[in-house]
Amino acid sequence: MIGRICGSSIPVARWLTMPKVLVSDPIDQVGLDILSQVAQVDVKTGLSPSELAQIIGEYDALMLRSGTRVTAEVIEAGQKLRIIGRAGVGVDNVDVPAATRRGIVVVNSPEGNTIAAAEHTLAMMLSLSRHIPDANASTKSGGWDRKSFVGTEVYKKTLGVVGLGKIGSHVATVAKAMGMKLLAYDPFISAERAEQIGARLVELDILFQEADYITLHIPKTPETANLINAETLAKMKPTTRIINCARGGVINEQALADAIAAGKIGGAALDVYDQEPLQADSPLRALGKNLILTPHLGASTTEAQVNVAVDVAEQIRDVLLGLPARSAVNIPGLYPDILEKLRPYLQLAETLGNLLSQVAGGRLEQLTVRLQGELAAQQSQPIVVAALKGLLTQALRERVNYVNAMIEAKERGIRIIETRDESVRDDYAGGSLQLVATGSNGEHRVMGALLGDGEIRITNVDEFPVNVPPSRYMLFTRHRDMPGIIGKIGSLLGSFNVNIASMQVGRRIVRGDAVMVLSLDDPLPEGILAEITKVAGISDAYTVVL
């Protein structure tokens, strides 16, 4: 389906320069309306990865559900892409590592369709228990068969929940209210949390052996792929019924079909499949009344589709406006509330990282990020990411951002060490941040802090104390502390019509080695650096652009 959603009240001239968003799966109109506030919106569904790759290059954002596969090829073709928004939970149809490497933020809607999926699961469990789809089909086709569809009750039966997350725990809560006993398996959930829901946390084998119903609410990962297979099916009771409204691929579909056909399993209800759409020749299609199949409907309610459309469209809008996304799956620890709280420190870290890359020069092998004083109590991950972004800015320019800074650093073999030292007491209430780079030019360090009003201060360059605000153009010299040298540098810059905004000298001992830091109003003209290094007493001089 091809269609362009035009913003009704946007002047054509502005509309033509607005970012472009491609919507490649059916998304509720409310989401399209939100996107249209800030972007040109094209709706093109049913595209194959190669078809998507052919057109994605003109888009700044992509919004999808589970029907679109975003391969590395699509990511590579999406040279303008800034954000991929998944209107749902699972992002396994997106090559997230490839997007991260490209600095593309991937967002989802973690809770927008939780109730929908849980209720679909419960509907599938009860339909399976009372043969509702087959009884319906039989009656509609003229039958009145009250013998073939005798079912079973779920009351006092044992439900085994694999994955006690948002959906699994809602299913468990409702099932408990229906009088079911609850077992759960989830390696990342505490026994206390399970008990709060009324479930007993057990090992998977115990769950397989004891459950009358097994419901899966897990992502597809290397650990969960083929979790239900011939071997694990053999551990279950021959009356056990399996429901999967999570992800295809966690069940070996051939093994399940064989077990149902052989009467080794009581039945199954599936909403998701290893390959979707389900293949015409799938062994699942040939089975009778003990198997219910739905076409990935878990999130298909009007309420859920409004929820996820609004949630993700707002995040795409925000990112296109330069604001943070609230549910990024590939930015470590950088949630909007954290971002707001740490923003000044992130700017400090990024500035220091940019400065350090130019002070150190050469090939970088290690970065140590040292949070000091009050700053040591803050969450460090976002600060490390911001420092890395700054450190790589000169090399990668706008290609590096908070999404890919960590991965870019690791791909360059830069070891990252993070330390905290709350004992450091300096003049800065918010603490200070020290970055140390080790590489082909030895070890270099910079330190900075925030003043009370949030203004950034560079407080050390290598071993020298300074106290200067960062500025766009800066000149650093290493020299012997001696009378007249400052004047010579000032006169030399003046002779080249370079205006000095501020100048400061950092030294540890009188007439010893020292550093001079100059903030300049303009970039240094060609050739002046060579003239500066000719001044007696100057051992090094370099410029920095922040």
Ligand X SMILES: O=C(O)C(=O)COP(=O)(O)O
Ligand Y SMILES: NC(=O)C1=CN([C@@H]2O[C@H](COP(=O)(O)OP(=O)(O)OC[C@H]3O[C@@H](n4cnc5c(N)ncnc54)[C@H](O)[C@@H]3O)[C@@H](O)[C@H]2O)C=CC1
Binding mask 145-164 for ligand Y (x = CB under 6 A): -----------------xxx
Is 276 a catalytic site residue? yes
What tokens were used for 318? 């925000």
The nearer residue to ligand Y, 241 or 247, going by C-beta atoms, is: 247
Residue of 101, 102, 296, 444 marked active site = 296
CA 195 to chain centre: 30
- Contact segment (CB under 6 A) with ligand Y among 296-304, 364-372, 450-458, 460-468 equals 296-304
User: Whose CB is nearest to ligand Y?
Assistant: 165
Please tell me whether residue 245 binds ligand Y under the rule CB under 6 A: yes
Residue of 111, 276, 418, 531 marked active site = 276
Q: Which of 20, 80, 130, 166 binds ligand Y (CB under 6 A)?
A: 166
Please tell me whether residue 186 binds ligand Y under the rule CB under 6 A: yes
Please tell me whether residue 96 binds ligand Y under the rule CB under 6 A: no
Q: Which of 36, 68, 93, 113 binds ligand Y (CB under 6 A)?
A: 113
Q: Give yes or no for a cis peptide into 277 (omega within 30° of 0).
A: yes
What CA–CA distance (Å, rounded) separates 513 from 521? 26
Q: Yes or no: say if 297 and 16 are a contact pair by the CB < 8 Å rule.
A: no
What CA–CA distance (Å, rounded) separates 463 from 440? 18
Shortest Cβ distance from residue 391 to ligand Y (Å)? 33
Binding mask 447-476 for ligand Y (x = CB under 6 A): ------------------------------
- Beta strands in 469-545, from DSSP E residues, in sequence order: 473-480, 500-507, 513-520, 538-545
The nearer residue to ligand Y, 117 or 256, going by C-beta atoms, is: 117
* Beta strand pairing call for 181-185 and 158-162: parallel
The nearer residue to ligand Y, 186 or 253, going by C-beta atoms, is: 186
What CA–CA distance (Å, rounded) separates 496 from 528? 8
Size of the site for ligand Y (CB under 6 A): 32
Residue 188 binds which entry of ligand X, ligand Y, none, with Cβ cut-offs from 5 to 8 Å by kind? ligand Y
Please tell me whether residue 90 binds ligand Y under the rule CB under 6 A: yes
Please tell me whether residue 326 binds ligand Y under the rule CB under 6 A: no
The nearer residue to ligand X, 89 or 544, going by C-beta atoms, is: 89
Is 296 a catalytic site residue? yes
Q: Yes or no: say if 204 and 223 are a contact pair by the CB < 8 Å rule.
A: no
Please tell me whether residue 248 binds ligand Y under the rule CB under 6 A: no
The nearer residue to ligand Y, 303 or 455, going by C-beta atoms, is: 303
The nearer residue to ligand X, 271 or 481, going by C-beta atoms, is: 271
Residue 65 binds which entry of ligand X, ligand Y, none, with Cβ cut-offs from 5 to 8 Å by kind? ligand X
Per the document, the length of the chain is: 546
Q: Which of 21, 117, 175, 233 binds ligand Y (CB under 6 A)?
A: 117
Residue of 247, 445, 457, 478 marked active site = 247
Shortest Cβ distance from residue 118 to ligand X (Å)? 12
> Burial, 261: exposed, middle or buried (Cβ in 10 Å; 0-12, 13-18, 19+)?
middle
Is 398 a catalytic site residue? no
Contacting ligand Y within 189-228 (CB under 6 A): 189, 217-219, 221, 223-224
**CA quadruple 84, 87, 92, 93: dihedral sign:** negative
Q: Kindly report the backbone phi and psi dihedral angles of residue 518, in degrees, each rounded to the nearest multiple of 5, phi listed first.
A: -120, 130
The nearer residue to ligand X, 45 or 138, going by C-beta atoms, is: 45
Q: Which of 11, 187, 452, 512 binds ligand Y (CB under 6 A)?
A: 187
Shortest Cβ distance from residue 282 to ligand Y (Å)? 17
For the chain, report the end-to-end CA distance as a whole number of angstroms.
Answer: 47
Shortest Cβ distance from residue 103 to ligand X (Å)? 24
Nearest to 79 by CA among 105, 65, 63, 60: 60
Query: Would you tell me how many other CB atoms lie within 10 Å of the CB of residue 423?
Result: 8
Q: How many CA atoms lie within 13 A of 215 on its CB side?
A: 29
> Burial, 467: exposed, middle or buried (Cβ in 10 Å; 0-12, 13-18, 19+)?
middle
What tokens were used for 397? 């320019």
What CA–CA distance (Å, rounded) separates 317 from 174? 36
Please tell me whether residue 358 binds ligand Y under the rule CB under 6 A: no
The nearer residue to ligand X, 92 or 531, going by C-beta atoms, is: 92
Shortest Cβ distance from residue 88 to ligand Y (Å)? 6
Degrees, nearest 5: CA angle 400-404-410:
105
What tokens were used for 309? 């459309």
CA 12 to chain centre: 34
Please tell me whether residue 185 binds ligand Y under the rule CB under 6 A: yes
Residues making contact with ligand X (CB under 6 A): 65-67, 87-90, 113, 296, 298-300
User: Within 288-374, where are the H helices?
Assistant: 302-320, 336-360
Residues with active-site annotation: 247, 276, 296
- Chain residues binding ligand Y by CB under 6 A are 88-90, 113-114, 117, 162-168, 185-189, 217-219, 221, 223-224, 245-247, 271-272, 296, 298-299
